[in-house]
Every structure is written in structure tokens, then in C-alpha cells.
Structure 1
Amino acid sequence: MHPQWRYRARRLLAWLAAVTVAVGLTTVVVAGARPAAASDNGLSIRPAMGWSSWSFVRRTPTEAVIKAQADAMKNSGLSAHGFVYINLDDFWMRCDSNGPMVDSFGRWVVDTARFPSGMRALADYVHNDGLKFGLYVTPGIAQNAVMQNTVIAGTDRHAADIADTSKTEKNYNCRHMYYIDYSKAGAQEFINSWAAQFASWGVDYLKIDGVGSQDIPDVRAWASALRASGRQINYALSNNLAIADASTWRQYANSWRTQGDLECYCGPGPNGSGYPITDWSHVLTRFGSAASWQPYAGPGGWNDLDSLEIGNGDRIGLTVDQRRSHFTLWAMAASPLLLGTDLTHLDATDTAMLTNDRLIAVDQDGVAARRIVSSGGNQVWSKREANGDHVVALFNTATSGSSTVSVNWSQVGFSGSAQVTDLWSGADRGVITDTYSTTLRPGEARLIRATPVSGGGRVTIEAEAAGNTLAGAAAVATCSTCSGGAKVRFIGKSAANYETVNNVAVGAAGSRTLTITGEVSGTRTFFVSVNGAAAGQVALTGASWSTPVSATTTVSLNAGDNTIRFFNDTGYAPDLDKIAIG
């Protein structure tokens, strides 16, 4: 096969694997070192995708409206591309002059005028559409609960025992929420009771809003309660959180809002509702925050740039170019993709954007990009994916005047030439050497995939890369000490449990050094086969399941693509972090 066609074939396989990730049929691509461990609840290995009621529905959600949006998500085909959460934001609870009204255990009650069937029935409806259901809460305990001194479920304690009535929490709708004193007996049990109720309703995603650094005890309590609820619930924090506490947000949550609202509140309706929903100045502020927060994103926990305001065409307040740039930045930052638009009136141009699996795959690759050029209105962002490809975004963020934006491959992280694909159009741009340049209209972006063309350099592949094959019990798990933020566990013990690393490409046939990195406590063995032929065995000896160790062996590879299988038919193998061919 001609080398250029080989590279094109590899790109097609990588794209198909990434699309599979986007629609939830396999695991995630992750690459690059990550900081401290994210939430260990097993969720958000890749960023969440779905819809939230706040941007468009705003203060008037109803059962009928949420059902209509869920139906539109399914019927439009968006769910087939990975958009699965239907999240009901604020204004679902009933209020009186003393704030949120509560049940006998001090928990908010549903506004049955808006949601006559209740939350469990609404969640069931969403689930029947093949989607997931999200809900909203704020920190603290309701003033009504304290006034009524409601009992805390499962205890002999009461609301007044845990409330700090000297301080009020932020609540945007009903207000009248007191702080909780978590040093008091019954405080954690109160949150546990509330989380258990949400779980019984079928909640899959919980946004806790109005969170500040002073609410870290609440963040910790809710994280514990959700894990104990008996249901996997994606845990999101909002909004405008302090970067000084980024490691804390990452420790406890699956996502965290890095700024205030993306909405401009400049529409003609009450409280600035209606179209336009946002404007370019609000999107533009996200470039700086995405750059600052980049080190904290990784499998299990993501920097949330707020809603993706695409779906309703120019009425949103952004031009077509600006909307593409909006999506491009969110994808490069690996931000959750939570639509804020009206799904019942989708625009054809915007639907084509939202169903572009190449863009979705960039968001779902599990890597937050770095900003490598920032010069006036010109910006360039770059990230390296697990298969060695580099995804590069070039922006002209100015509001007038075209601009030529350029980047050297050395700035991206490699030298020489690369096979380039335009990810918005899918067009093959051929092999480009040293420098990529493009002229962009104001507000326009160009998103490319650059596959380095090399003859025989070092190849590194993460175990959890989307192009690999996991069989039997072998599965991806988050791993804060691993190079890509994840690893593959449960290889071995049976011939059915193995991993095959695909698309191991080298320029020339011959013997190469295979370096295997994994985690193990004690000594365990990988058996290795290359292109279906036995290639020996490698033992790893380690001190713990959280400390990577490496060992090497020599393998014979063909020119072009190869497959390497890791297995152990009789005993468990180590956990596999990555391999390198040198």
C-alpha cells in the first residue's frame, strides 16, 4: 500500500473509532499527563453531552416542555450522536414567602402545578426515550425546614440541629436557604436522605448551583451522598468557581463551571429571556478561562465552559462562523456539551454542526487542548491524542477584518510533515511540511487533524485509546497516576479477557523494542502476540496498584500497521497503562 493511502486508512479507522466513542458504544480516547484524581464514581470518563433547560426555557419549565425537548432530542437524531442528558435546571420546586417548601424530611417539594405527574414519572418518560434525566439543587437547608423543625430521615435529629441560621446560602429562585453546620450530627444524613430521594426518582445527573469556595463542605457531603445513593449520578458544580480550589473541585465532582453564565440576558422577554440567547463577547471570554483551567481537565472531571448555544440559527446571537468557533473551542477544551437551545425548532445548518461526528470526537477524546498562540485576534490551540495525532484549532476571534493565522509543527509538538484533514468539512488537505497557514474571516475557526509522517520514530499508544480492542472483562478505569488519566484492568485469568492494541504503525520492518508500562502489586505477567503470532512474555513487578512500572522486550514488526495483543490465559495480568515502540 502506498504510504499516503496507508495514512488515510489509519485516519479513517481512527475517525470511526472516535465516532463510536461519541455515541457511547465503546470506551474513550485519553492522552497526556493529568493532575490529581478526579471523582472516582466511574462517570464522565468522557465529557457529558445533552441539553439543559436554563438557556431557552429559563424560569418556566413544565412537564410538557421537558417531555417535548426529550422527544426532539431522540427524533432529531442528536441522541444517536451522543447527546443523552435532559437536564431540568432551576424553578422545578415550589416556593412560598419563606423560600423552598419542604416535605416531612426537609427536602424541596415538586411544583405540581408545573409537574403534575411528579419527578419519577418525568424521569421515566425521559428514560423511555433512551435518554438520561438531570435535576438541580443548591447548597444548604431550607428556612421552611428549620421553621418546621423537620426530622432528618433515619435519625432522631431535626433541621434546627444542623442549620447555621446566621448565614444564608445563595439560591436564585426561592432564596431563604441556610448554611449547614457539618460538624453537627445529622448533617451528612440530611444530604444522604436528599440524594437517596433523587436516586429514587431516577435522577442521572445533578447540578448543584450557587457553589463557592465557602461551600466545599457541601460539595464534599453531596459527593459522599451521591456515591451512597445506590445510583450512578453525574455530579456537576456551578458556577464561576475559583481556580484556586480547582484540585478540590476535581477531587469531588465530574465537572465544574469555570465562569458565570454564557447567556447575555439581552432578549426581549422577562429577565432578558428570549432571543438572542448569547453574543460573541460572552463566548470570547471563554478563551482565557479555557487556557487557564486546561491543566485540571481529564477523565472523570471536566472544565465546564457552560451551555453550547447552537441549534436555532442566527437567532442565538452568533453568526454561523461564530457558532462554529463556539463549538470548536468547546471541543478543543473537552468541555461538557450541554445544549441550551430549543430542540423543537432546530435549524438545518446548526443540526449539521451538532451531528458532525468529527467535531464530537475531538470533544470526546478526553484531552483538553493548550493554547499555543495568542496574538491579537489570532489564537491557536493544540492537543495530542492517544494514537499520536495532533488536533489543532486556529481562530480569528476579531469582529472585523480577515486574518492569516499560522502555526509551526514544532509549536504543536513534532517536526517534519503531517497528513492534514479539515475536521469541519472532512476534506483531505494532503501532506503539509513545517507550517500550516489559513486565512480566516472574523469569528471564523479552522479545525484540523495532523498525522505526523515519519519513517521510524518512537510510537506511544495509550492502553485506553479508542482504536484498541477490549475483550471479555477487560475494561477502562480512571487512573490519576497513569499517563493518560486511565488504564485497562482485568486482562487475563481467562483466554476471553485480553486487549489488542491496533494500528501500531512503523515505517520499516524489523526488530523493535516494546516498552510496556502498567501497574501491579507484586509480580504478574503479560503474554504478547504480534500480528497473531506468539512473541513471548513480559513480567512486571511493582509495589502498588497506583505506581506505574515498565519492562521491555524485543518484537518483530511489519512495515505499516501492526497489532499487538496482551493476554494471560491462566492468571491475571498487570493493569496496562501504555506501550511504546522504539
Structure 2
Amino acid sequence: MQSQSGIPGRPGGSPARRGRGIRTGAAALAAALTVTLGTGAASAQAAGPGPKPKQHAVAVTPGAVTEDPSSAERAAAQKASSAAAADGVAARPLMGWSSWSLQSTNYPGVNPGGNGNWLTEAHVLEQADVLAEKLKPYGYEYVNIDAGWSRTTSWAPGFDEYGREIASPERFPHGMKYVADQIHAKGLKAGIYLAVGLAKEAYAGGTTPIWNAPGCTTADIVYPDLRTTNGWDSSYKIDFSKPCSQKYIDSQARLIADWGYDFLKLDGVGPGSFKSGDNYNNIPDVAAWRAAIDATGRPIRFLVSWSLDRNHAADWKKYANGWRIQTDVECYCDTLVTWNNSVKIRWDDVPAWTPWAGPGGWNDLDSLDVGNGEMDGLSKDERQSYMTLWAISAAPLYTGDDLTTLDSYGLSLLTNKEVIAVDQQGIPARPVTPTGPGQVWGVKNTDGSYTVALFNMGSLPAQVTADWTSFGFGGKAAVRDLWQHSDLGVRDGSISATLPAHGSRLFRVTPKSPAPKTVSYEAEASGNTLVNGASNAGCSGCSGAAKVGNLYNGGALRINNVTVPKTGVYQVNIRYVTGDPRSATVSANGQNAVTLAFPPSGGWDIAATVTVPMQLHAGANTIEIDSSTPVYSPDIDKVEVPLNVR
């Protein structure tokens, strides 16, 4: 059964390679389910697939114009998020374990009864035992049960008399409250899963009564034409102009709160989940869930999923405590994940969302499957890079591994206290040299030091260098290798490492010298030259509250009279603004032009920096930032040139 999916019942199935069509893992999983379910699959399809089978990734078109939330929307979102953190909900990124990676894999022996059938009460509690013993001392505390808990192993759903999902006796014979109680007894927290909308099977001809809402039935909460919603069209869209609708959401929230759950994942949410349009606008659902959760009085951490539309980031931050920024990380294949499908695309996805992460709400990159060795489907270097990106992004750290078979290397990754501390300080890093296979990411820490990560995204070994001036400091700095727990001494100006394919290093860098002198050149300065339609524009988040834009189809900005004391290679910082991925050709004095990738800065009035080495000669120079026909380039705030040369 496939509807952009793989496993019926978890709206969402298999992730896809960005821009390359549906993944073969999804197709294989769907085919396997068709064989497994036989005629039952056909009848389930007629009623609409249930939650989870997953998704088809959509390429982000360079030059596509995003619509930023207004300043008022941002303020409201930040206020709500800060209030949640003050109440102790999502003050830091979540740490724990989730069931879906094991449910979705074809790894031998994991799902012998059929795809998705790993999920049982016994398996969940077994994982909770190991989490409590081996990982809880390091901060891991959530045990999150994903799709399928209310469905039989043939994926038939179960509901109570009020249209609310209840445990499948086949999977959870003691019920969901019992499971939560057992998890709590281990000093852990319990998580549960639902898909957005009214499940088609719960509608039951519109006659199902709503709990604690006399006179209300399911016919009173949906649109008369029974329009569908969510990433799999497995539910009817709820009409929140009807007073009975909030009562239904309240009844579901009350049930999971009474069971004792501390976390809810609401899946298939749009705009996102590779759906758009009015039918798939689930912001009213998310708002209703926020109100319902608050009304229970229980501090339930609330995640919305998946591949959510960044244009609505303020809505996700206002109503939720986390939001999935991309498709599933699982490969729906013979391992849990693979590098190409879809771990590596996270390096492209994260930058656009960075400004939205913070106490009360976090960018969710999905499961962290680095602990099982062969089952993970990754090399050791890839496993380290995977966790490095999650940690520097202040992303939730929840593994989908089989905790009963953690290998020693995986356990060392998951329990590295220095790397966990980077994640838990809650300040996401950004790329500063994102072009080519060698990438440098970093962020200033709360204690004045810097976290600096080096990545080799290429398939061959490569040297990667981080220059201190990319981060706004210079001279000498003490360096500590966080993965190796090793002090490397003092380095002057930069640090380099030769990295294996898909390898990484992670450092804490503490400046020991005064900040270097730099000179800033504003893009909008009158002495610059604007070419082929490039023009000045206002920008509240830019230096001088202005920028240069319309760099398109040959449009260019020439920053004149960039003056340096002597000839050499300078690490030039380009401060730019863009809501989506863009590129530009950069050159100095008409020589050595290079095309740079500019990751999203996070919004059209939020500035970010990339660094490019440029050969400048003593005296005055001209730096040109030129669009490549017919590609849009980012808007430019300014360039910063250090007065020291490498």
C-alpha cells in the first residue's frame, strides 16, 4: 500500500531523495505491505491509508521567493515559546529514543512478522530498560512510541466509543496507561503518536459521539463534503468553525494526559508533509491541540511533523515545542538509514531554520541512528558526522537504534558528555564556508568560546580549514577536540584537518588574542557600482538597515575601494540575506571568480555570513558579487575584510 508512503497507518511512509523521485526503499516497503496484507490491504486502501507511510522529498528551487512571517507573528511566536520554556516544557532539546526506525527497517530479523510489526509492548519496555540503564545518566529520558500503537499487525485501527485511538490488544495487551506507568517507574518520560485530522475509520458515518460534548457527533466536526487532509489523506479535515471540533481535540488530549503521556507527535501536518492548499492547512488543528494540551494541565511536549513549510515557522513556534524540518531520515531499506538516503541532505536543510530554534521550541532533524553499527547502514566516520550535525544544530537527540545491541563505538558517540553539552546549550551553529565538499560550521558559546565543526561531504579525503576570522576573532586560540577529549594546544589564526570521506572534527575554540581589526564595506554605500538592475532596499536586520538586492540575470554589486595594507589572501566575510538557497559568483579585481553557495539565512531581514578566501593586492581593490544568468543571487548586506593576511 503506497500513497507517498510505505506502511499503512503511519501517514508518511518512505522518505525520498531530494529531487530524485520516490525512494526505492519506499516502493519496496509498499510492495511488501501489499503482499503481507492481501485483501485486507485493498479494503484498508478504500477506507484511506492510516498513519505513517512516508514521503516524497521536494527539491527547493533556487530563487524561489519565501514569505517571511511578520514581525508581529515572530513576536507572538517567541512569547509563546518563551512561556513554554519558563513552564519547564522544552527548555532544552529533547533527548531519548523513538520506535519508528526499527519499525520501518527491513534489516534481517527486526520485523519478521511483517513491515511495521516490530512495535509491541514488550519491545518498547525492553528499550526503556536499556535507556534507563545506559543512557539516562547522560540526559536521555523520553521513550517515544510512534505510529502503529493503536493498530493490529495487519494495520487495522482501533478506537473507543468516542472515536479516540486506543491500544491494539495485539501489540499492547495491558494498554497505554500501563506502558506509561512502566516507563515512569524507570524515571523516564513517555511519548505517543497521532495523525492530524479525524481518522476516516473514526467517522463511522458521522454517528460517533464526542466525549464530554452532549449532542456532538463526528458529523458535527468535519466539512460536509468529507474533504481529506494530512500527508496521506488518511483523515477527514476538521472544521474548527464548528464548536464541537475543539471538544473532539480536547477529548483526545484528555485521554493521553490521563494515560500519563509526556510527549505527543502530531504527524502528517501541513502546510508541509509534501502537501499544500486549503485542505492541507492544519494550522487550526495545531492551534486546537495547543489549547487542548494546555487545558489538561499536564506538561506535554508537543511536536508537529513532517517536512514543514518554513513560511509558517512562526505558527509552529507559537503552538508547538518542535517541528520536523524534513522528511524521515530512515531509508526504508535493509538498514535503518543510509548516508545518501537521507542523512546528508540535513546539511542543506538546517540553515533556513536556524533562527527559529530556542528554548520552548526546536528544529527537529529526526532520529539519530548512530549506535548499532552495521544495522545503522553507515561508516564510523558518517556516524560521527551525523551526531556532530545534530549536536551543533541544537536538535533533539533521540536515537532510533535497537538499544539492546548498541556497539561500543555507538555508545561512545551517544554518551560523549562534551558533545551533548554543545547540543544542550541550545544555540544552533551555522555554516560559514558552505561551498564544496569541505564545510566549516560554528557558533559562539555562552562562555565566550566557540564551537567549530569541520565536515568533508565529499567521497575522497580532503583538508578542511577553519579560519578564526570567519567567526569574528583572530590571533591565537586554545583548541580542544570534543570527540577525542583532547586539548590540542594553541593555534594561530586557524585549524586544519585532513578528513576522510564524510568525516568530521568538532572543536571548542577559546580565543587568546584581541579581536583582529576588520573593515566593513556596506553594500548600499554610494561609492559602489550597481549593475543591470541591482538596487538598494531596506532591511531591518541588516547593518545600516539597508542592503542591495535584485541580483538576477547578470545583476551585480561592485564594492569599490576595498583597501588592504599588503598583497595576499584574505578571508573575506560576505554578509548576506536570503530566505532560500541561492548562489553568486564572487571575484576580486576581475580575477579568480568562484561561484559560492549561499544557504538560507533564515529570512529576508535576517543576515548570515559566508567566508571566501580572496586574493587582494596592496591598496584599493574591487570585490564583485554577480548573479549568474538566470539564477537569483542573495541580497547583500556588507563585506568584512580583516586587515591581516594568511
Same-fold status (TM-score > 0.5) = yes
Secondary structure of the residue that 1:228 maps to in structure 2?
helix
- Structure 2 distance, partners of 1:94, 1:319, is 35
Q: Match for residue 162 of structure 1?
A: 221
C-alpha distance 432-456 of structure 1, shift in aligned 2 (>3 A): closer
1:225 partnered with 2:292: yes
- Structure 2 distance, partners of 1:418, 1:313, is 35
- Structure 1 distance, partners of 2:327, 2:235, is 21
- Structure 1 distance, partners of 2:153, 2:132, is 36
Q: Which structure's relative contact order is higher, taking Cα pairs within 8 Å and 6+ residues apart?
A: 1
Q: Match for residue 307 of structure 1?
A: 367
- Structure 1 distance, partners of 2:338, 2:514, is 48
Q: Give the drift of 1:38.
A: 5.1
Kindly provide the amino acid, as one letter, of the partner of residue 437 in structure 1: S
- Structure 2 distance, partners of 1:195, 1:276, is 31
1:81 partnered with 2:127: no
Kindly provide the amino acid, as one letter, of the partner of residue 434 in structure 1: G
Q: Give the drift of 1:250.
A: 1.1
- Structure 2 distance, partners of 1:142, 1:276, is 28
1:419 partnered with 2:469: no
CA contact 1:38–1:253 (8 Å) conserved in 2: no
CA contact 1:38–1:299 (8 Å) conserved in 2: no
C-alpha distance after superposition, 1:404-429 (max 9, x if no partner): 11121110121222111000001111
Q: Match for residue 263 of structure 2?
A: 205
Q: Match for residue 406 of structure 2?
A: 346
Q: Match for residue 358 of structure 2?
A: 298
CA contact 1:102–1:142 (8 Å) conserved in 2: no
**What's the TM-score once normalised by structure 2's chain length?**
0.62
Q: Match for residue 162 of structure 2?
A: 105
Q: Give the drift of 1:176.
A: 4.3
Secondary structure of the residue that 2:323 maps to in structure 1?
strand
CA contact 2:474–2:514 (8 Å) conserved in 1: no
1:196 partnered with 2:254: yes
CA contact 2:475–2:515 (8 Å) conserved in 1: no
Moved more, 331-340 or 153-162: 153-162
Q: Match for residue 487 of structure 2?
A: 428
Q: Match for residue 149 of structure 2?
A: 92
Secondary structure of the residue that 2:345 maps to in structure 1?
helix
- Structure 2 distance, partners of 1:423, 1:161, is 57
- Structure 2 distance, partners of 1:95, 1:281, is 29
Q: Match for residue 120 of structure 1?
A: 177
Kindly provide the amino acid, as one letter, of the partner of residue 448 in structure 1: F
CA contact 1:290–1:333 (8 Å) conserved in 2: yes
Kindly provide the amino acid, as one letter, of the partner of residue 117 in structure 1: H
1:48 partnered with 2:94: yes
Secondary structure of the residue that 1:283 maps to in structure 2?
coil
CA contact 2:474–2:515 (8 Å) conserved in 1: no
C-alpha distance after superposition, 1:112-133 (max 9, x if no partner): 1111100000001111111110
> Which one of the candidate residues 7, 13, 36 is aligned to 2:78?
36
Q: Give the drift of 1:101.
A: 3.4
Q: Match for residue 252 of structure 1?
A: 319
- Structure 1 distance, partners of 2:447, 2:512, is 13
C-alpha distance 107-95 of structure 1, shift in aligned 2 (>3 A): farther
> Which one of the candidate residues 212, 218, 236 is aligned to 1:178?
236
Q: Give the drift of 1:166.
A: 2.6
Kindly provide the amino acid, as one letter, of the partner of residue 51 in structure 1: W
C-alpha distance after superposition, 1:55-106 (max 9, x if no partner): 013412111010100011122x211101110000000113799974321222
Kindly provide the amino acid, as one letter, of the partner of residue 125 in structure 2: K
1:403 partnered with 2:462: yes
Kindly provide the amino acid, as one letter, of the partner of residue 228 in structure 1: A
Secondary structure of the residue that 1:181 maps to in structure 2?
coil
Q: Give the drift of 1:109.
A: 2.1
- Structure 2 distance, partners of 1:97, 1:315, is 25
- Structure 1 distance, partners of 2:413, 2:332, is 24
C-alpha distance 176-293 of structure 1, shift in aligned 2 (>3 A): closer
CA contact 1:280–1:317 (8 Å) conserved in 2: no
- Structure 2 distance, partners of 1:103, 1:182, is 22
Secondary structure of the residue that 1:259 maps to in structure 2?
coil
- Structure 1 distance, partners of 2:255, 2:425, is 34
Moved more, 195-204 or 56-65: 56-65
Q: Match for residue 381 of structure 1?
A: 441
CA contact 1:196–1:230 (8 Å) conserved in 2: no
Q: Match for residue 236 of structure 1?
A: 303
C-alpha distance after superposition, 1:175-200 (max 9, x if no partner): 74211000001111110111011000
Q: Give the drift of 1:441.
A: 1.0
- Structure 2 distance, partners of 1:281, 1:171, is 20
Kindly provide the amino acid, as one letter, of the partner of residue 424 in structure 1: W
Q: Give the drift of 1:432.
A: 1.3
CA contact 1:389–1:450 (8 Å) conserved in 2: yes
Q: Match for residue 371 of structure 1?
A: 431
CA contact 2:337–2:378 (8 Å) conserved in 1: no
C-alpha distance after superposition, 1:357-377 (max 9, x if no partner): 011011111101111011211
CA contact 2:231–2:269 (8 Å) conserved in 1: no
- Structure 2 distance, partners of 1:142, 1:86, is 25
1:317 partnered with 2:377: yes
Q: How many residues align?
A: 414
C-alpha distance after superposition, 1:31-51 (max 9, x if no partner): xx9983453333111100000
| Structure 2 spans left out of the alignment, 5+ residues | 1-73, 105-115, 272-280, 517-646
Secondary structure of the residue that 1:375 maps to in structure 2?
coil
Secondary structure of the residue that 2:342 maps to in structure 1?
helix
**What's the TM-score once normalised by structure 1's chain length?**
0.68
- Structure 2 distance, partners of 1:430, 1:202, is 50
Secondary structure of the residue that 1:266 maps to in structure 2?
coil
C-alpha distance 169-96 of structure 1, shift in aligned 2 (>3 A): farther
CA contact 1:56–1:277 (8 Å) conserved in 2: no
| Structure 1 spans left out of the alignment, 5+ residues | 1-32, 268-274, 458-582
- Structure 2 distance, partners of 1:320, 1:371, is 23
1:72 partnered with 2:130: yes
- Structure 2 distance, partners of 1:322, 1:393, is 14
Secondary structure of the residue that 2:496 maps to in structure 1?
strand
C-alpha distance after superposition, 1:364-415 (max 9, x if no partner): 111011110112111111111111110000100112x211111211101212
- Structure 2 distance, partners of 1:230, 1:303, is 25
Moved more, 64-73 or 156-165: 156-165
- Structure 1 distance, partners of 2:387, 2:418, is 12
Q: Match for residue 332 of structure 1?
A: 392
- Structure 2 distance, partners of 1:456, 1:383, is 16
Identity of aligned residues (%): 43
Kindly provide the amino acid, as one letter, of the partner of residue 70 in structure 1: A
> Which one of the candidate residues 146, 150, 157 is aligned to 2:208?
150
- Structure 2 distance, partners of 1:397, 1:278, is 14
Kindly provide the amino acid, as one letter, of the partner of residue 406 in structure 1: T
C-alpha distance after superposition, 1:553-581 (max 9, x if no partner): xxxxxxxxxxxxxxxxxxxxxxxxxxxxx
Q: Match for residue 476 of structure 1?
A: none
Q: Give the drift of 1:140.
A: 1.1
Kindly provide the amino acid, as one letter, of the partner of residue 136 in structure 1: Y
Q: Give the drift of 1:456.
A: 11
C-alpha distance after superposition, 1:246-271 (max 9, x if no partner): 1111111111111101111122xxxx
The structure carrying a bigger strand percent of its residues is 1
Q: Match for residue 265 of structure 1?
A: 332
